[in-house]
Amino acid sequence: MKGKIKTSDLTLTALFAAMVCVATILIKIPVPATQGYIHFGDAFVILAGIFPGMGLGMLSAGIGSGLADLFSGYPVYSPVTFGIKALCAITVSLIYKKTAHRIPSPMARLILGGIASTAIVTGGYLIFELILYGSAAFVEIPMNLIQGGSGIAISCALYPLFARIPDLKDRL
């Protein structure tokens, strides 16, 4: 049946959500000006859009990132982060899959998806923080761009390793 969720899909979703959450929490570079931090979770958000695919990747990215905000003491951000990161995974997935016939290089498609993801993160948090903090929200833009760039670089480094795992390779 098409509507049934396979155990392997559920496991992969949970695994990617855990990787997103841990990568977000584990390595934090504080940004004193904003009371926030730069993290490496976005690399796994990008990879979640590619390997589990759009629906599962959306859940992995949203749940993992939202939980990281809760565990890190930023509960007000958690629902917004869930939505932003879920949208990032959807976008990466669409770009990666839909451009395959025009752009044969998986790495080029990953980078394009990562750039789009960085734009979504930067714009999404800017809108939310404009509501919270007013014009002070603009201070976050460079940090979000740096975080996005590091996420793209790390996902490029990890992609070949993930692509060798048989269960993940079969999903490409």
Q: How do residues 31-55 score in pLDDT, each as one tens digit? A: 777 777 789 999 999 999 999 989 9
Q: How do residues 132-169 score in pLDDT, each as one tens digit? A: 999 999 998 999 999 999 999 999 999 999 999 999 99
Q: How do residues 78-134 score in pLDDT, each as one tens digit? A: 999 999 999 999 999 999 999 999 999 999 999 999 999 999 999 999 999 999 999
pTM: 0.93
Q: Compute CA distances 102 → 35, 117, 152, whole Å.
A: 42, 20, 21
> With 60 as the cut, is the pLDDT of residue 1 above it?
no
* All residues at 6 or more sequence positions from 115 whose CB lies less than 8 Å from its CB, including other chains: 148, 152
Domains annotated for the chain, with CATH where assigned, are 8-169 (1.10.1760.20)
